[in-house]
């Protein structure tokens, strides 16, 4: 019996024009995993598989110890799912939805819900149809957060949110993590947020896992190196070069295996060694992955 | 509660280093005296909206430096070492001096020139 | 039954309450119109038929397709229920909505037939048969809409089932055992009646349970 919140082994899902292949992923309690990848990479598909909304062609999925999609009704009792495409039921108010969720989940915290209504600047009398994009996302987040689920699965949860709302929402997510028995898996294009609050980062591109690791180690390993080679000077032989760009005397290298040993090999012509943001690593990683696959 | 600690993502330095520096600064200033309990890793993570793993790393490195002490199951505390605040202040001074020396070299100043500039700066205050 | 299923059934009734109310009013109203002379009877009975059929169509279309279109399905499926629970809730909920309009309208019509002397009581069995036919018809529309993956198929189902009522009248009315007693003074419940009724009920049961057996087993709901 495992205590991992999400386990995926060799998961495969085929569609006509897209295949998610050999995906393995695991999320432990107390962890935040940022799920990053270009559009169409398979992030939403993966999250839907985790929720049991679709079922894999091959491989195993367990959420909170329950096999998915078979035991989805049981698993979903303690999982909160928010997707940017989600809409509330038309012709009903936010308040009606709050009552509905409250009647279904024993863990509904009415005080917390009331605080969230204020913080997210919503009104219970609002009709679902009249909600703007940002309000709709906040409403679904409210309905999910207020019942304090053990696992949160979020598909682009900060879409359409203004900076203040985003700050409030991220605040609530981090509050969730004060309880080390709860965890979050979220996909986002906002690499700044992912870089900031994730414990682990998983990259996916064109249906395949590119990388999944501990965020700090990850950011530690990637560097952009700038060298200035005078005429006649050769580029030192360096391992693990992801990309290389030369403009006259100036050479820019990107490595994904930076270490003290690597630094020692750089030679006298190095001008600067820079850390990279998650966004820059993301682009470099994906470009390299596509080259390797010959696409 | 910890609104004074600020993590900037536009800062070139990694987040865990910024946190370590700000904690060291508070200890050096005496705001966080010896023996004071540090916020729990998760509490600080939630307060700063920063990942738990980043705070863990900061605390680990601070412990390796001897600046804090972690007691299993109890929490982390500012190291109860005499003169820790002073030591950290000294370390800060050395770091600034190294930077000054570096810039001085770039500008082509001699050590006498630099000493004169330093004297003037001290008189100004 | 899963509490979520119960809540969703209640939701169905709540969300459709206005529609059902209008249906009941129209059903009873058209019965009253049918009681006013022979022109009234023609108009009233036609309206009565249209109300019940229309109710079935709107409920199925709106109740099923709309939820899919409006992306509300993702929210519902994020609740702790299985696909089978959802299908069950949908069918029971919508069937209940329809049944309310249907039962009140049919009861009103039967009362009118027996109370009004100018309308021969012999038509009662035929009335029952056509009523249960529309119930079975609703089953077909509901079942078909659950299966349908796009609006084109749904529209086709609706057109076909609408024609079904006319077909029913052409086939059953002239049936031996029915035809002779339609305008009699007293109702005759003979074997022809029971046979047709049995067929209708069979269709109803099959159409309402088929989705539970097939759609509910679908592994990809979205």
Q: What is the DSSP string of B25-52?
A: HHHHHTSS-TTPBPPPHHHHHHHHT--H
Question: Is the same domain home to B69 and B90?
Answer: no
Name the residue among A69, A74, A75 with its Cβ closest to that of C219.
A69
Q: How does the average pLDDT of chain A come out, rounded?
A: 92
B94 within domain boundaries: yes
Q: Cα–Cα distance between A186 and A33 in angstroms, integer?
A: 6
Q: Cα–Cα distance between A132 and A137 in angstroms, integer?
A: 9
Nearest residue in A to B50, CA atom:
A197
- Does position C144 have pLDDT exceeding 90, yes or no? no
Question: Is the same domain home to B21 and B74?
Answer: yes
Question: Is the same domain home to B70 and B96?
Answer: no
Q: Cα–Cα distance between A89 and A93 in angstroms, integer?
A: 8
- Does position B49 have pLDDT exceeding 90, yes or no? yes
pLDDT band at B73; cut points 50, 70, 90? confident
Q: How does the average pLDDT of chain C come out, rounded?
A: 86
Residue C62: what pLDDT? 80
C with A: 3 or more CB pairs under 8 Å?
yes
Cross-chain residue pair A86–C7, CB shorter than 8 Å? no
| A220 touches A186 (CB < 8 A) | no
Q: Residue C83: helix, strand or coil by DSSP?
A: helix
Please write the tens of the pLDDT for every residue from C74-96: 899 999 998 889 888 989 999 99
Residue A295: what pLDDT? 54
- Does position A180 have pLDDT exceeding 70, yes or no? yes
Question: Is the same domain home to B73 and B109?
Answer: no
Q: Cα–Cα distance between C57 and C38 in angstroms, integer?
A: 29
Question: Is the same domain home to B94 and B68?
Answer: no
Question: Is the same domain home to B74 and B88?
Answer: no
- Does position A110 have pLDDT exceeding 90, yes or no? yes
Q: How much is the average pLDDT of A185-196?
A: 93
Question: Is the same domain home to B93 and B46?
Answer: no
pLDDT band at A202; cut points 50, 70, 90? very high
Residue C178: what pLDDT? 76
B with C: 3 or more CB pairs under 8 Å?
no
User: In total, how many domains does chain B have?
Assistant: 2
Chains with ≥3 Cβ pairs under 8 A against C? A
Q: Where are the alpha helices (DSSP H) in A191-267?
A: 191-197, 215-221, 260-264
B54 within domain boundaries: yes
| A225 touches A266 (CB < 8 A) | yes
Beta strand A223-228 with A66-67: parallel, antiparallel or unpaired?
A: unpaired
Q: Where are the alpha helices (DSSP H) in B1-125?
A: 15-29, 41-48, 52-65, 84-107, 111-124
- Which residues from B are below 8 Å from A196, CB to CB? 7, 9, 15, 49-51
Q: Which of C192, C194, C195, C197 is CA-nearest to residue C180?
A: C192
- Does position B21 have pLDDT exceeding 90, yes or no? yes
Question: By percentage, how much of chain C surpasses pLDDT 70?
Answer: 98
Question: Is the same domain home to B24 and B61?
Answer: yes
Residue A265: what pLDDT? 86
Q: Cα–Cα distance between A216 and A220 in angstroms, integer?
A: 6
Question: By percentage, how much of chain A surpasses pLDDT 70?
Answer: 99
Q: Residue B61's domain is classified under what CATH number?
A: 1.10.10.10
How far B49 CA lies from chain A's nearest CA (Å)? 6
Q: Which has the higher per-residue pLDDT, A159 or C65? A: A159
Chains with ≥3 Cβ pairs under 8 A against B? A
Domain boundary among B78, B100, B116: B78
B117 within domain boundaries: yes
Residue A90: what pLDDT? 81
Least confident span in A79-88, A106-115, A163-172, C40-49: C40-49
pLDDT band at B2; cut points 50, 70, 90? low
Q: Which has the higher per-residue pLDDT, C135 or C165? A: C135
- Does position C182 have pLDDT exceeding 80, yes or no? no
Nearest residue in A to B12, CA atom:
A275
Mutate one of A104, A137, A140 to test the C interface: name it (highest C CB count within 10 A): A104
| A275 touches A215 (CB < 8 A) | no
How far B125 CA lies from chain A's nearest CA (Å)? 35
Residue B3: what pLDDT? 62
| C63 touches C16 (CB < 8 A) | yes
Name the residue among A178, A197, A200 with its Cβ closest to that of B49.
A197
pLDDT band at C57; cut points 50, 70, 90? confident
Residue B21 belongs to what domain range?
15-78
pLDDT band at C222; cut points 50, 70, 90? low
- Does position C180 have pLDDT exceeding 80, yes or no? no
B66 within domain boundaries: yes
- Does position B81 have pLDDT exceeding 80, yes or no? no
Mutate one of A45, A69, A90 to test the C interface: name it (highest C CB count within 10 A): A90
What is the arrangement of strands in the sheet containing A183-187, beginning at the earlier edge strand? Answer: A79-83, A151-155, A183-187, A32-36, A200-205, A208-214
Please write the tens of the pLDDT for every residue from A3-45: 899 999 999 999 989 999 999 999 999 999 999 999 999 999 9
Angle made by CA atoms A183, A187, A190, in degrees to the nearest 5: 115
| C157 touches C140 (CB < 8 A) | yes
pLDDT band at B125; cut points 50, 70, 90? low
C14 contacts: CB under 8 Å, gap ≥ 6: none
Question: Is the same domain home to B61 and B105?
Answer: no
Question: Is the same domain home to B116 and B64?
Answer: no
- Which residues from B are below 8 Å from A219, CB to CB? 14
Q: Cα–Cα distance between C212 and C146 in angstroms, integer?
A: 10
Residue C159: what pLDDT? 84
Q: Is A274 on the interface with B (CB under 8 A)?
A: yes
Q: Residue A273: helix, strand or coil by DSSP?
A: strand
Name the residue among A53, A73, A87 with its Cβ closest to that of C80.
A73
Q: Is B45 on the interface with A (CB under 8 A)?
A: yes
How far C86 CA lies from chain A's nearest CA (Å)? 11
B45 within domain boundaries: yes
Cross-chain residue pair A55–C76, CB shorter than 8 Å? no
Question: Is the same domain home to B88 and B68?
Answer: no
Least confident span in A92-101, A214-223, C97-106, C122-131: C122-131
Residue A72: what pLDDT? 92
B102 within domain boundaries: yes
Question: By percentage, how much of chain A surpasses pLDDT 90?
Answer: 75
B21 within domain boundaries: yes
Structural domains in chain A, CATH included, are 6-216 (3.40.50.300), 223-275 (no CATH)
pLDDT band at A51; cut points 50, 70, 90? very high
Q: Which of C134, C131, C166, C164 is CA-nearest to residue C59?
A: C134
Question: Is the same domain home to B73 and B95?
Answer: no
Q: How much is the pTM?
A: 0.85
Q: Peptide bond before A69: cis, by omega within 30 degrees of 0?
A: yes
B68 within domain boundaries: yes
| B23 touches B32 (CB < 8 A) | yes
Q: Residue A247: helix, strand or coil by DSSP?
A: strand
Beta strand A241-247 with A250-255: parallel, antiparallel or unpaired?
A: antiparallel
- Does position B1 have pLDDT exceeding 60, yes or no? no
Q: Cα–Cα distance between C59 and C41 in angstroms, integer?
A: 27
Chains with ≥3 Cβ pairs under 8 A against A? B, C
């Amino acid at each position: 019996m495992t205590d991992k919140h999400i386990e995926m082994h060799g998961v495969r899902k085929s569609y006509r024009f897209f295949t998610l292949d050999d995906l393995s992923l695991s999320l432990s309690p107390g962890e935040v995993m940022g799920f990053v990848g270009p559009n169409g990479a398979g992030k939403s598909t993966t999250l839907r598989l985790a929720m049991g909304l679709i079922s894999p062609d091959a491989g195993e999925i367990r959420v909170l110890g329950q096999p998915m999609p078979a035991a989805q009704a049981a698993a979903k009792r303690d999982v909160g799912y928010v997707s940017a495409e989600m809409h509330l039921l038309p012709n009903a108010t936010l308040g009606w939805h709050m009552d509905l969720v409250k009647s279904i989940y024993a863990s509904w915290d009415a005080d917390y819900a009331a605080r969230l209504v204020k913080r997210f600047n919503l009104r219970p009398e609002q009709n679902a149809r009249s909600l703007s994009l940002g309000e709709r996302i906040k409403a679904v987040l409210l309905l999910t957060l207020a019942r304090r689920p053990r696992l949160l699965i979020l598909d682009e949860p900060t879409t359409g949110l203004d900076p203040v709302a985003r700050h409030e929402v991220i605040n609530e997510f981090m509050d969730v993590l004060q309880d080390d028995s709860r965890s979050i898996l979220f996909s986002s294009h906002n690499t700044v947020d992912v870089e900031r609050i994730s414990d682990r980062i998983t990259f996916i591109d064109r249906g395949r896992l590119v990388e999944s690791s501990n965020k700090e180690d990850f950011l530690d390993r990637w560097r952009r190196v700038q060298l200035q080679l005078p005429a006649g000077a050769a580029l030192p032989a360096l391992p693990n070069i992801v990309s290389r760009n030369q403009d006259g005397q100036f050479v820019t290298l990107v490595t994904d295996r930076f270490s003290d040993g690597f630094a020692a090999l750089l030679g006298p012509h190095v001008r600067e060694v820079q850390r990279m943001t998650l966004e820059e690593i993301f682009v470099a990683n994906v470009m390299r992955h596509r080259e390797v696959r010959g696409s | 509660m910890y609104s004074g600690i600020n993590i900037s993502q536009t800062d070139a330095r990694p987040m865990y280093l910024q946190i370590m520096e700000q904690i060291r600064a508070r200890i050096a200033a005496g705001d966080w005296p010896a023996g004071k309990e540090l916020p729990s890793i998760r509490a600080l993570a939630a307060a700063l909206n920063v990942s738990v793993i980043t705070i863990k790393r900061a605390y680990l490195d601070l412990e390796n430096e001897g600046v804090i002490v972690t007691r299993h199951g109890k929490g982390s505390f500012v190291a109860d070492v005499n003169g820790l605040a002073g030591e950290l202040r000294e370390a800060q001074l050395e770091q600034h001096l190294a930077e000054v020396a570096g810039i001085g070299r770039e500008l082509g100043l001699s050590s006498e020139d630099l000493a004169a500039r330093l004297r003037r700066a001290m008189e100004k205050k | 039954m899963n509490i979520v299923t119960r809540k969703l059934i209640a939701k169905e009734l709540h969300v459709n309450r206005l529609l059902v109310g209008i249906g009941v009013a129209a059903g009873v109203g058209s019965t009253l119109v049918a009681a006013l002379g022979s022109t009234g009877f023609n108009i009233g009975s036609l309206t009565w038929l249209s109300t019940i059929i229309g109710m079935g169509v709107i409920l199925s279309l709106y109740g099923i397709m709309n939820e899919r279109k409006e992306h509300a399905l993702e929210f519902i499926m994020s609740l702790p229920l299985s696909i089978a629970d959802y299908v069950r809730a949908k069918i029971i909920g919508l069937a209940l909505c329809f049944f309310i309009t249907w039962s009140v309208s049919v009861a009103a019509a039967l009362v009118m037939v027996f109370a009004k002397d100018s309308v021969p009581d012999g038509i009662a069995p035929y009335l029952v048969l056509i009523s249960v036919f529309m119930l079975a018809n609703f089953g077909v529309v509901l079942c078909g809409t659950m299966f349908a993956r796009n609006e084109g198929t749904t529209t086709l189902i609706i057109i076909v089932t609408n024609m079904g009522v006319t077909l029913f009248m052409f086939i059953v009315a002239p049936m031996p055992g029915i035809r002779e007693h339609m305008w009699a003074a007293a109702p005759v419940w003979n074997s022809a009646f029971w046979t047709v009724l049995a067929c209708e009920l069979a269709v109803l049961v099959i159409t309402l349970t088929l989705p539970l057996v097939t759609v509910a087993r679908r592994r990809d709901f979205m």
